[in-house]
Amino acid sequence: MVLLGIESTAHTASVGIVDDTARVLSIASDMYRPVAGGIHPREAANHHVDLLPELVTRALETAKVSPREIEGVAFAQGPGLGPCLRAGATVARTLALLWDRPLVPVNHCVAHVEIARVLSGLDDPILLYASGGNTQVIVYGGGRYRVLGETLDVGIGNFLDKLWIALGGTFPGGPALEAEAKKGTELHPLPYSVHGMDVAFSGMLTATIALSGDGVPRPDLAYSVESTAYGMLVEITERALAHRRRTDVVLGGGVACNERLRSMVREMVEGRGGRSYAPPKSLCVDNGAMIAWAGHLALRAGRSVPVEESAVLPRQRTDLVPTPWRTELPA
Ligand code: ATP
Ligand code: FE2
């Protein structure tokens, strides 16, 4: 079964095609980059409307499949920015009607988790989902992905992006900050904000900007921020492993591209005798292939919707989405 998936929750417009073994046949993406500051939802949506038709064509060409071979059209139903979600959903509805194929709504967060999980080959890991808008430690149980811990303010990626812009850079901040951090040598203490299973970043944002005003070099700031922020994520992930008696961790989301985060998680997990896995970077950041794969799982479990019931859900939470394709493992 070959599915086409459309991602358009925020900055990225992307179309991906996967087969029923989760082999990625193609990804065609284009990112809206604000001229200055953060995302403007309407402008981002216009970008997606303009780009998605040619991304569909490109994805089909690269995958070398014809529309006749596409067995379902999946789209990100939420969470995300309303205008951006509607742009992707409109294209998905059009294709489903045109090709007479089932329309499959997908939760964006569950898609990050499922593509990482299938590629990992690990059955029941703890999932660390770290992206722009989300920072969650997730475990599966009782028919849902349960959020054990999460950010109490902004997502870690949004924090990195905001910080980088405040330090004179441009969006996206995460990869640039990673390059800068590699040149850092001196660790400066920053607010380490872990509250039980939750984390917060706004104190660190304020403190880092203040240190920058005091003349601390940017590489040292980046190094200190990465060490502190990723240390917080490692702590709550380790607590989840201990309490849920799990051994393995799978990373997902754009921030999971980060080499320091990957190696800090790996060190913690291997120290406990488990395994950790992070997907290739092209599948950590927002992409249509993860939507297609989650759509494949949902369709195989009989979940598709008529156009009239395909409204987007900008605030849809990870733990509200039924996952009928997963079977319960013993606790
Ligand atoms: P979500 O809706 O899942 O929150 P998103 O819109 O944030 O998705 P993603 O592509 O999942 O999109 O994540 C983008 C984030 O990942 C950005 O904040 C970006 O700075 C961050 N990021 C990308 N590469 C790296 C990296 N190498 N190190 C740290 N952060 C990174
Ligand atoms: Fe994402």
Q: What's the mean pLDDT in 178-201? A: 98
Please tell me the distance between residue 186's alpha carbon and the centre of ligand 2 in angstroms.
Answer: 32
Tokens 């990804």 identify what position? 27
What six digits make up the tokens of 191?
Answer: 């607010």
- pLDDT tens profile 274-323: 999 999 999 999 999 999 999 999 999 999 999 999 999 999 999 999 99
CATH T-level assignment (fold) for domain 125-274: Nucleotidyltransferase; domain 5 (3.30.420)
Domain boundary assignment for the chain: 2-112+283-328, 125-274
Nearest CA to ligand 1 atom 19: 174
41-63 and 82-99 helices, crossing angle to 10°: 30
Name 23's Cβ contacts closer than 8 Å, sequence gap at least 6: none
pTM for this model (two decimals)? 0.95
Q: How confident is the model at residue 191 (pLDDT cuts 50, 70, 90)?
A: very high
Whether 328 has a pLDDT exceeding 70, the answer reads no
- Nearest-angstrom CA–CA distance, 139 and 326: 12
Name 97's Cβ contacts closer than 8 Å, sequence gap at least 6: 307
Nearest to 146 by CA among 123, 116, 124, 131: 124
Cα–Cα distances (Å) from 320 to 14, 194, 324, in that order, read: 24, 25, 12
> Residue 58: exposed, middle, or buried by beta-carbon count in 10 A (0-12, 13-18, 19+)?
middle
- What pLDDT does 327 receive? 74
- pLDDT tens profile 80-92: 999 999 999 999 9
**What torsion do the CA atoms of 211, 214, 217, 219 make, to the nearest 10 degrees?**
10
Q: What's the mean pLDDT in 216-228? A: 98
| CATH superfamily assigned to domain 2-112+283-328 | ATPase, nucleotide binding domain (3.30.420.40)
Q: Ligand 1: residues within 6 Å at CB?
A: 9-11, 80, 108, 112, 131-134, 155, 157-158, 160-161, 172-175, 178, 253-255, 257-258, 285-286
Mean pLDDT over each residue of the chain, to the nearest integer: 96
Taking phi over 0 as left and psi of -120 to 50 as alpha, with beta for the rest, 310 belongs to alpha
The best mutation among 164, 286, 315 to test binding of ligand 1, ranked by most ligand atoms within 8 Å of the C-beta, falls on: 286
**Do the first three CATH levels of 2-112+283-328 and 125-274 match, i.e. the same topology?**
yes
Query: Whose atoms come closest to the Cα of 9: which ligand?
Result: 1
